[in-house]
A and B are shown apart, each in its own frame.
Chain A
Amino acid sequence: MELTLWTYEGPPHVGAMRVASSMKDIHYVLHAPQGDTYADLLFTMIERRGQRPPVTYTTFQARDLGGDTAELVKRNISEAVERFKPKTLLVGESCTAELIQDQPGALAKGMGFDIPIVNLELPAYSKKENWGASETFYQIIRTLLKDKANEIDNINPQRWKSLGRRPKVNILGPTLLGFRCRDDVIEIQRILSEQGIDTNVVAPLGSSPDDITRLIDADINVCLYHEIAETSCEWLKRNFGMEYTTTIPIGIKNTISFINEVHEKLNLPLTNKQELEHKSKLPWYSKSVDSNYLTGKRVFIFGDGTHAIASAKIAKDELGFEVVGLGTYSREMARQVRAAAKDLNIEALITNSYLEVEDAMKKACPELVLGTQMERHSAKRLGIPCSVISTPMHVQDVPARYSPQMGWEGANVIFDDWVHPLMMGLEEHLIDMFKHDFEFVDGHQSHLGHTATKLPENIKTEHEQSPTNVEKKESIHWTESGRAELTKVPFFVRGKVKSNTEKYALSKGLPEISDETLYDAKAFFG
């Protein structure tokens, strides 16, 4: 048993629902009790969808358990097929149904329908949402394409040349309730078409079973989100020889690598290399003098594997931040995240416990947090600015405006979203200059209106602390002069200065901290 107060990922059948709801002409009969219908609101409320997810819940009750729940499953399947007339039927079970072992997939297959039936076996007690989405997408592709595997030759990525047409690719992985998927797809299609590359199929988002059977018309696959599409891309490679890209085009460097990778795989010459450097404003904005103040900003990153790894790269190489923490809740991508962390000389945090993440965040003393909505809340409590980079989805992560993470526009969005919560460089400089003026008050906010500059509880100077704060009683004594000097430190770095000074004092075995100790520590840490 695992004590969970809050979870980053839902159960695997919610992942299956993400795939089913992303597609057309498909229906999912889920053997599940009534409470599981809550999952509909993820789509209708968070994504503001105007359609119900294409899911029928069998809604078995305690009194059914003694009787024939298999009959109930069959009745629901018949009704769903008759009412919704899907071109492909998904059949599966949620956690409770898994225990009663009705095998709804096998039941459905025995009912004599003339549509493909995908039997989803998603172990609810060991797997989670993203795995469920990946497995569902893979099972749909496998069911609809397995018979063709022996019929056709391996797909040569360069075949477009001999076929006398433009190269075309599939974009695989975007789903509903995926982070900014809707806009990423538009951005990537735009980038590809600028390079003379057509999109064959985007899936699961917006595709139908007919589109899935057309996947093999493309020359290569673009794996846009490893969490969702890697298994499918591997299967298509094994069975049809279809090559797929592995670079995730988030950030300028990754987007350029991605374009290069696509061109190499298709054996298509890249003619506009110079031009690519100027497609996004991020490089210039990052180089402009105002951004000098971003240098070495300490940033803590936590999210799904794809976005956490990409964010770390952008933070370090494109914005000049120092990455002081990197982690993920995606256990399936733990290896890659560990490798990325190793390159940064830090240790990756792989956990599903948001409290562990909050503790790590506290210890890292970051100036910016890039995380999920939960890290946004943790950061708010700690008074640290935060930008959201990853699922789990919140209604705010589905903005009305075009707001991709990928490609050129994605890089623009990222620059704005990450830098605005920090105080703009010039403004920060001015505040520092004028901090002794009477107009200046602690908690002064950037004109950009972000609210993360509040002095948090845990970095108040000692005499301000409440007597109930037992943990802090052990901390070292600050003299009058030390306290006075600390209050002169700009509030947005005061926490760091305080903890650094205390760390220094402890390491030197000093009994108290005066103004001089503070300056000693400042010199020591540089």
Chain B
Amino acid sequence: MSKVDLNKETGPREVFCGLTSIVWLHRRMPDAFFLVVGSRTCAHLIQSAAGVMIFAEPRFGTAILEEKDLAGLADAHDELDRVVNDLISRRPEIKTLFLVGSCPSEVIKLDLATVAEKLNTRFLGQVRFVNYSGSGIETTFTQGEDGALKALVPLMESTDDEKLLLVGTLANNVEDRFKKIFNNIGIPNVESFPPRQSTELPKIGKNTKVLLTQPYLSDTVRDLKHRGCEIIYAPFPLGVEGSTKWFLAAADSFKISELKVHEVIAPLTNRARQALEKHTEILRGKKLFLLPESQLEISLARFLHNECEMDLIEVGTPYLNKDLMEEELNLLPDDTKIVEGQHVEKQLDRVRASNPDLVVCGMGLANPLEAEGISTKWSIEMVFSPIHGIDQAADLAGLFSRPLKRNQILTSKSLATH
């Protein structure tokens, strides 16, 4: 492992909870519904984070706990039963219903697993019920996806077929690109998890080789391993370097030569490097500070330093799984300061003291930092945009060069002189 400077910090945080991941998970699986069992805060959080006013009737909702549920006047299980019945008669097209635990449901120890089990018996053949927790006392932002996927693993049937399984939500177009490239490399059987339809779960077994597309899936990986899957350790497919090593790692586990991989991806790599150049011109030598939120921070730091030549001040991450991140950490320059966890006030003190050119942060902090004259990039955009793969490398860099470019335009002297 490279000699990165690992630190831990605790204190008040400024991050989303795992419920937020419902925003992209429900879009990935259009036949699934996510029912949070929680409070008005949970409902308000998801609609605020998602800006959901665009939906006619969203495929997520909240069963809001009321006084009578807490006081034991109403049996919470009966109440949830009633809500689920309502929901299913309203939305008969739903195939999978995720019961999602929240902070309050965890604290009052509402047993969603038992509820899900009962409902599965009752709605057998019609709707499948799965439960996991997206609560903020246990999960941060992207960890919600980890919980949802882990909950699906027991439902995946077994097979001894050899296959490559891409794990982690991808934009559909990126997924198609990846499959095509793997086919060209010589890996014909490639599937994705989560699938595009919740009912079409891939089968897994001892000949399944798991390649992660996202770094935040620790629990899912553990369970896939228990099912006999082989985990391919690699950097994550962000940027040309990360994606190349990711393809190579997969090819290696299928005993395909490096030469073959390079032959397939060379034209992609060449054009991506060209496309990256104009962003690198802007980003080169600029100082970057990443606040913790999505767990993508380490991969992004590696990409922005190694390919866009930015200087890293500090790389925050809400949680660090050293096993999954080892390949990434090895690619970082020595002495990169990595901070796991957060004390938001102290971290902002360091932001100000280090005079960064760009800060990657959550939406709650972006405008206040801009108002202090510090350019920002919202981290939530990374989970909504197609950023994976060689072909997207320039788009990914563009997310970071745009605020700097804009800053340049707006602060140029043209306004003053005319």
Using a CB–CB distance below 8 Å, which chain A residues touch chain B?
1-7, 9-11, 13-14, 33-42, 44-45, 48-52, 56-62, 64-65, 76, 79, 83, 94-96, 99-100, 123-126, 128, 355, 373-374, 377, 381, 394
Contacts and interface: CB of A to CB of B under 8 A. Distances in A.
Interface string B41-69: 10111011100111011101111111101
B39 A11 contact: yes
B367 interface: yes
21 contacts: A1-B37, A1-B76, A2-B64, A2-B83, A4-B61, A10-B44, A11-B40, A33-B17, A34-B15, A34-B17, A34-B136, A35-B18, A37-B16, A38-B48, A41-B49, A42-B48, A50-B372, A65-B107, A124-B39, A124-B41, A381-B56
B11 A59 contact: yes
A4 B63 CA distance: 6
Nearest to A6: B47
Contact of A95 (B69, B104, B362): B104
Contacts of B364: 37-38, 40-41, 44-45, 52
A223 to B, nearest CB: 26
B363 A44 contact: yes
B53 A373 contact: yes
Contacts of B135: 33, 35, 62
B136 A36 contact: yes
Nearest to B86: A3
Contacts of A48: 367
B138 A62 contact: yes
B79 A1 contact: yes
A125 B66 contact: yes
Which of A1, A59, A76: most chain B Cβ within 10 A? A1
Given A4-B43, A95-B39, A124-B40, A58 B12 contact: yes
A50 B40 contact: no
A35 to B, nearest CB: 3
A522 B37 CA distance: 51
Contacts of B155: none
A6 B365 contact: no
A374 B19 contact: no
Interface string B16-50: 11111000000000000000011111011101110
B14 A40 contact: yes
B264 interface: no
B416 interface: no
A330 to B, nearest CB: 15
Majority-rule SS of B interface residues: helix
Given A5-B58, A41-B364, A125 B12 contact: no
Given A1-B74, A62-B137, A95-B104, 17 more contacts: A1-B65, A1-B66, A5-B62, A6-B53, A14-B44, A35-B103, A37-B364, A44-B365, A44-B368, A48-B367, A52-B368, A56-B345, A65-B137, A79-B345, A99-B104, A99-B108, A125-B65
B266 interface: no
B418 interface: no
A64 B307 CA distance: 41
Contact of B368 (A36, A42, A51, A76): A51
Given A35-B17, A40-B14, A45 B345 contact: no
B70 interface: yes
A3 B34 CA distance: 12
Given A2-B63, A3-B87, A125 B137 contact: no
Given A1-B69, A35-B136, A65-B137, A95 B53 contact: no
